[in-house]
């Protein structure tokens, strides 16, 4: 069993690249907004972990896993608008080439010389947590020495309009841009490198709850599995972070009540701090909790997205930090 | 984390396809073996300003606006039936879905965009637009309540789905996973590949005269199952998933690494995962799009991996076109059949092998009888994504 250390963590809500290395700034200037956010966050997290590198051969044992709800939606909308308005002969090759949700992962791999697994997943708003979970498994099974992992999303008027037209608006919080990025590596490796620990990923699980799952069985199963995976009891938790969305609030409440049976610890909603950042929400809250001196015991980040996707991840801030 | 460790293994116990060669496993396989080509002019949407306008369409499914989701659902139902699995008889939390796509509900998005531009009422079904939607539809309808994810590795997404599925099964995160890919043809994607000058009227993988790819559509879904779970049910194993790997090129966003270094790293990772070295590989299902750069890159990668050893190589993109997020899944299904049948389908469209690819033993003309114990399937996509799958005979 490999323990997973978090050695880098960064929360970014504005794609501000002033502190990024020049090679990365140049690439970011040409990239779409969600990629700029991730480049800024990944740069800070890698520097945090002492793994910053922007030239030389790709490092085959370092990789990236990113999660996103809507990926390249903004680029898709811009490309499609022009295609529909001007016809196929005037379609934009520059925009079309960026209509892939893995563009950010590709740019991170190029910018920071990561030659290992470059994986992007979408699973609604739970995608960021599930990306961290998958990266943790890649590290735990010895497939990588370190992974950049987290969630990202960016929104604009087209996305907001589409969400509203489809009755898919998440809740009261206004949509915002965000990227929450961690660096994960084996605890032993981190100790060998002598880098400060930000925390540990203890366990995780995923599930799927359709609207008719009124008893929230799938949510409950994911929470229970994540705690078992982490080897912790419900009473051991100091904090639960959940997505605050009216459409899944009742299922979330039922599941938490069933698992914690009246002993529910403090509950936090990332949207209160960041607005609705979709797949970045869970990772952003995770980064904040790692930095919160008050959170010393394990905590659960739970995401029950209206799409049905469920992510549950148990982490702990580094023991002994002030 | 309490990972289950090396005691668990992943096997493929069911396969289903909705393909341009037909929407049963038999029609798909028979078409591939016969060297049939499914290319024809676009029928289903306005194509006056699309050039080339040759594609490989799937017949039917006209009534469902979520075409990619509908393809995937049919393919998944076939796979479950073939595996003899009824999800309601399993613990649903132990059943997952990993389904790649590059377009999702893009045709619905096109309709929405047109309605917004015209100021008319917007269409229903907008929740089927996102890339995560086809996987969510499968989970919802079929009752999977475990991990549900949509890998986004552009044209390597189908292979990445099999990778995720096998990784979950081996790590103990699921016992059964519906794994595959689905994509549909629409103006968005045809115009896009056309404006990149990546398309042609005929796909000629590894041919000296290759000019580009032909787009296709469809879905391929496999049941990836834990080996003991399958054995307990007495299920027929079609193939074993021996290893998976992924690697970034980390060189360029749209052009492949000329040396194929990302592919080499992905394959070596998958072989290391399988505990094998390149000498064990009996057959390669290449990405083989028929674009000048891709095929040259792959030839270089395979040469670096296998040296002078002649390993039979094919690509099915000359037959069913490049089905994007479904391509790797179709190729994994094809590899499973090759392992079971001992026949390798030919590369349709290949007439004059590119001298730059002469190190490869390209299967052309007729299908070839060949004893395959270990098959390798590779996929590559935009943003320098590469994924590789090593499958073994049951």
Please indicate whether residue A106 or residue A19 has the higher confidence score (pLDDT). A106
B260 pLDDT band, cuts 50/70/90, is very high
**H-helix or E-strand containing B363?**
none
From the candidates B37, B155, B186, B357, give the one annotated as an active-site residue: B155
CA dihedral B245, B283, B85, B72 (to 10 degrees): 70
Task: Tell which B residues from 130 to 159 touch A, by Cβ distance under 8 Å.
Answer: 130-133, 135-136, 139-140, 144-154
User: If 0-12 CB within 10 Å is exposed, 13-18 middle and 19+ buried, where does residue A297 land?
Assistant: middle
Closest chain A residue to B151 measured between Cα atoms?
A121
pLDDT of residue A173 exceeding 60, the answer is: yes
Which pLDDT does position A319 carry in this prediction? 65
- Label each residue of A227-260 as H, E or C: HHHHCCCHHHCCEEEECCCHHHHHHHHHHHHHHH
Chain B residues in contact with A114 by the CB 8 A cut-off are 248, 250
Half-sphere exposure of B62 (CA within 13 A, CB side): 5
Task: Tell which A residues from 192 to 221 touch B, by Cβ distance under 8 Å.
Answer: 201-210, 213, 217-218, 221
Closest chain B residue to A119 measured between Cα atoms?
B153
Which pLDDT does position A168 carry in this prediction? 87
Handedness of CA A104, A109, A115, A117 (dihedral sign): negative
- The fraction of chain B above a pLDDT of 70, given in percent, is 99
User: If 0-12 CB within 10 Å is exposed, 13-18 middle and 19+ buried, where does residue A82 land?
Assistant: middle
Which pLDDT does position A300 carry in this prediction? 97
Measured N-to-C along each axis, helices A33-48 and A103-112 cross at an angle, to the nearest 10 degrees, of 40
3-state secondary structure of A225: helix
Contact B194 A101 (CB under 8 A): no
Contacts of B374 (CB under 8 A, 6+ apart): B242, B274, B276, B280, B281, B282, B283, B390, B391, B392, B393
pLDDT of residue B136 exceeding 80, the answer is: yes
3-state secondary structure of A132: helix
B4 pLDDT band, cuts 50/70/90, is low
**Global pTM exceeds 0.90:** yes
DSSP helix, strand, coil percent of chain A (3-state; round to 5): 45, 25, 35
A169 pLDDT band, cuts 50/70/90, is confident
- Cα A77 to Cα A151, A277, B375: the distances in Å are 21, 19, 40
Chain A residues in contact with B129 by the CB 8 A cut-off are 162, 166
pLDDT of residue A294 exceeding 70, the answer is: no
Residues B38-63 pLDDT 10s = 999 999 999 999 999 999 999 999 99
Chain A residues in contact with B179 by the CB 8 A cut-off are none
Q: For testing the chain B interface, which of A117, A168, A203, A310 should be mutated: the one with the most B CBs within 10 Å?
A: A117
Contact B126 A81 (CB under 8 A): no
Task: Tell which A residues from 84 to 123 touch B, by Cβ distance under 8 Å.
Answer: 84-85, 87-89, 91-93, 96-103, 105-107, 109-110, 113-123
Tokens encoding A53: 């590198």
Distance between CA atoms of A235 and A84, rounded to whole angstroms? 56
User: If 0-12 CB within 10 Å is exposed, 13-18 middle and 19+ buried, where does residue B344 land?
Assistant: buried
Distance between CA atoms of A108 and A28, rounded to whole angstroms? 10
Residues B268-327 pLDDT 10s = 999 999 999 999 999 999 999 999 999 999 999 999 999 999 999 999 999 999 999 999
A240 pLDDT band, cuts 50/70/90, is very high
Average pLDDT, whole number, for chain B? 97
Overall average pLDDT of the B355-383 stretch: 96
Cβ–Cβ contact A161 with B under 8 A: yes
Please indicate whether residue A296 or residue B110 has the higher confidence score (pLDDT). B110
Contacts of B275 (CB under 8 A, 6+ apart): B242, B243
Which pLDDT does position A1 carry in this prediction? 65
Which pLDDT does position A15 carry in this prediction? 74
Chain B residues in contact with A110 by the CB 8 A cut-off are 248, 250-253, 384
| B335: closest CA of chain A, how far (Å) | 23
pLDDT of residue A322 exceeding 50, the answer is: no
CB nearest to B195's CB, from A68, A80, A93: A93
Contact A119 B160 (CB under 8 A): yes
Contacts of B189 (CB under 8 A, 6+ apart): B102, B103, B106, B183, B215, B324
Q: Any catalytic annotation for residue B287?
A: yes
pLDDT of residue A320 exceeding 80, the answer is: no
Distance between CA atoms of B121 and A229, rounded to whole angstroms? 48
Q: Which of B13, B184, B185, B183 is nearest to B99 (CA)?
A: B183
Check: CB of residue B320 under 8 Å from CB of residue B285.
Answer: no
Chain A residues in contact with B93 by the CB 8 A cut-off are 207, 217-218, 221-222, 225
Indicate the DSSP class of residue B327: H
> Which of A233-242, A245-254, A260-269, B159-168 is the least confident region?
A260-269
Residues B100-129 pLDDT 10s = 999 999 999 999 999 999 999 999 999 999
Check: CB of residue B321 under 8 Å from CB of residue B39.
Answer: yes
Which pLDDT does position B6 carry in this prediction? 65
pLDDT of residue B172 exceeding 80, the answer is: yes
Contact B127 A167 (CB under 8 A): yes
Q: Any catalytic annotation for residue B322?
A: yes
Closest chain B residue to A58 measured between Cα atoms?
B250
Tokens encoding B81: 């039936």
Tokens encoding B176: 């059964």
Check: CB of residue B285 under 8 Å from CB of residue B316.
Answer: yes
Chain B residues in contact with A229 by the CB 8 A cut-off are 1-2
Backbone angles phi, psi at A83, to 5 degrees: -60, -45
- Cα A128 to Cα A33, A114, B170, B223: the distances in Å are 17, 19, 22, 26
Residues A125-165 pLDDT 10s = 999 999 999 999 999 999 999 999 999 999 999 999 999 99
Cβ–Cβ contact B8 with A under 8 A: no
Residues A6-42 pLDDT 10s = 999 999 998 778 888 998 898 888 899 999 999 999 9
pLDDT of residue B215 exceeding 50, the answer is: yes
pLDDT of residue B239 exceeding 90, the answer is: yes
Check: CB of residue B191 under 8 Å from CB of residue A91.
Answer: yes
User: If 0-12 CB within 10 Å is exposed, 13-18 middle and 19+ buried, where does residue B369 land?
Assistant: exposed
Contact A109 B249 (CB under 8 A): yes
């Amino acid at each position: 069993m490999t323990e997973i250390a978090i050695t880098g963590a960064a929360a970014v809500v504005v794609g501000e690249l002033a502190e990024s290395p020049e090679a990365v700034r140049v690439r970011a200037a040409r990239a779409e907004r969600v990629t700029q956010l991730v480049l800024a966050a990944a740069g800070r997290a890698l520097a945090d972990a002492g793994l910053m590198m922007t030239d030389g051969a790709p490092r085959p044992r370092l990789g990236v896993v990113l999660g996103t709800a809507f990926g390249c939606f903004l680029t898709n909308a811009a490309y499609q608008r022009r295609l529909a308005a001007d016809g196929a002969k005037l379609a934009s090759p520059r925009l079309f080439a960026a209509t892939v949700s893995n563009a950010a992962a590709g740019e991170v791999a190029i910018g920071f010389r990561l030659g290992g697994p470059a994986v992007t997943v979408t699973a609604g708003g739970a995608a960021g947590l599930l990306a961290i979970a998958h990266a943790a498994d890649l590290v735990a099974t010895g497939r990588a020495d370190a992974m950049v992992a987290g969630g990202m999303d960016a929104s604009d008027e087209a996305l907001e309009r589409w969400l509203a037209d489809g009755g898919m608006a998440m809740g009261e919080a206004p949509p915002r841009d965000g990227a929450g990025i961690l660096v994960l590596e084996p605890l032993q490796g981190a100790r060998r490198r002598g880098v400060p620990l930000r925390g540990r990923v203890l366990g995780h699980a995923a599930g799927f709850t359709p609207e008719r799952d009124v008893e929230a069985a799938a949510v409950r199963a994911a929470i229970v599995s994540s705690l078992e995976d982490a080897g912790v009891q419900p009473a051991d938790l100091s904090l639960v972070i959940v997505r605050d969305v009216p459409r899944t609030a009742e299922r979330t409440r039922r599941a938490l009540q069933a698992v914690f049976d009246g002993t529910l610890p403090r509950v936090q909603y990332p949207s209160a701090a960041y607005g609705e950042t979709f797949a970045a929400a869970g990772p952003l809250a995770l980064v904040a909790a790692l930095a919160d001196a008050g959170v010393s015991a394990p905590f659960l980040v739970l995401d029950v997205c209206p799409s049905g996707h469920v992510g549950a991840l148990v982490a702990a801030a580094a023991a002994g930090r002030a | 984390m309490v990972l289950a460790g090396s005691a668990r293994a992943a096997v493929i116990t069911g396969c289903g396809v909705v393909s341009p060669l037909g929407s049963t496993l038999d029609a798909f396989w028979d078409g591939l073996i016969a060297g049939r080509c499914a290319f024809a002019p676009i029928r289903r949407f306005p194509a006056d300003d699309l050039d080339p306008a040759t594609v490989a369409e799937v017949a039917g499914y006209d009534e469902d606006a979520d075409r990619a989701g509908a393809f995937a659902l049919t393919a998944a139902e076939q796979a479950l039936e073939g595996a003899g699995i009824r999800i309601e008889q399993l613990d649903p939390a132990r059943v997952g879905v990993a389904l790649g796509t590059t377009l999702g509900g893009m045709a619905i998005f096109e309709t929405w965009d047109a309605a917004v531009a015209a100021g008319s009422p917007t269409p229903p079904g907008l929740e089927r637009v996102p890339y995560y939607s086809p996987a969510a539809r499968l989970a919802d309808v079929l009752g999977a309540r475990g991990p549900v994810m949509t890998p986004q590795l552009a044209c390597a997404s189908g292979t990445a789905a099999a990778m995720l599925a096998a990784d979950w099964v081996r790590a103990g995160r699921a016992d059964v996973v519906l794994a595959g890919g689905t994509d549909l043809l629409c103006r968005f994607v045809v115009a896009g590949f056309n404006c990149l000058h990546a398309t042609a009227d005929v796909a000629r993988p590894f041919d000296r005269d290759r000019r580009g790819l032909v787009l296709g559509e469809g879905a391929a879904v496999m049941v990836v199952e834990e080996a003991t779970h399958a054995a307990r049910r007495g299920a027929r194993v079609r193939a074993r998933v021996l290893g998976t790997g992924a690697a970034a090129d980390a060189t360029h966003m749209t052009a492949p690494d000329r040396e194929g270094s990302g592919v080499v790293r992905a394959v070596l990772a998958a072989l290391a995962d399988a505990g094998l070295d390149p000498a064990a590989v009996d057959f390669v299902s290449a990405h083989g799009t028929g674009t000048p750069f891709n095929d040259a890159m792959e030839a270089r990668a395979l040469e670096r991996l296998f040296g002078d050893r002649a390993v039979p190589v094919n690509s099915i993109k000359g037959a069913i076109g490049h089905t994007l997020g479904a391509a790797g899944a179709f190729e994994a299904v094809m590899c499973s059949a090759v392992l079971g049948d001992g026949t390798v389908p030919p590369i349709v469209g290949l007439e004059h092998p590119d001298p730059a690819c002469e190190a490869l033993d390209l299967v052309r003309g007729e299908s070839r009888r060949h004893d395959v114990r270990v098959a390798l399937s590779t996929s590559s996509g935009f943003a320098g994504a590469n994924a590789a799958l090593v499958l073994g005979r049951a």
